[in-house]
């Protein structure tokens, strides 16, 4: 059985997704769409921001989601899991990667989740 488990918050790192953006037209398109949906250039923070930038919940959660989903999508026909799962936030990546939810809706939900988590932490 081939299963994929997607990570949750804490898996972020500066430079995440840059190789995908630079080497895949699909990845670049999805990252640019994410910038539009989020209303800020998350790619700038992911690719060349600081660790502190990435620790902001409003950045961290969408960044991990984007990296996971875009990586799965760029695998194309090589991505054929029999099961997917996710740790916390990773559940959204699993749902989108498995086709149970579309990319745009998944990103909007993750972004809203991040904003709500930030409110609760205050």
Reported as a single tens digit per residue, the pLDDT across 88-120 is 999 999 999 999 999 999 999 999 999 887 666
What is the Cα gyration radius of the chain? Answer: 13
Homologous superfamily (CATH) for 8-121: Malonyl-Coenzyme A Acyl Carrier Protein, domain 2 (3.40.366.10)
Query: Does this model's pTM top 0.85?
Result: yes
**Model confidence pLDDT, tens digit, residues 73-96:** 999 989 999 999 999 999 999 999
**What is the average pLDDT across 61-79?**
95
The per-residue pLDDT for range 27-51, each reduced to its tens digit, is 999 999 999 999 999 999 999 999 9
Burial class from Cβ neighbours inside 10 Å (0-12, 13-18, 19+) for residue 60 reads buried
Domain ranges across the chain: 8-121
């Amino acid at each position: 059985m081939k299963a994929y488990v997607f990570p949750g918050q804490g898996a972020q790192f500066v430079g995440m997704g840059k190789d995908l953006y630079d080497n895949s037209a699909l990845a670049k398109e999805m990252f640019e769409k994410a910038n539009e949906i989020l209303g800020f250039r998350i790619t700038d923070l992911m690719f060349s921001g600081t660790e502190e930038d990435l620790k902001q919940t409003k950045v961290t959660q969408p960044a991990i989601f984007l990296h996971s989903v875009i990586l799965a999508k760029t695998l194309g026909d090589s991505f054929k899991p029999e099961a997917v799962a996710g740790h916390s936030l990773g559940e959204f990546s699993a749902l989108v990667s498995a086709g149970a939810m579309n990319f745009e809706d998944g990103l909007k939900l993750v972004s809203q989740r991040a904003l709500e988590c930030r409110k609760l932490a205050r």
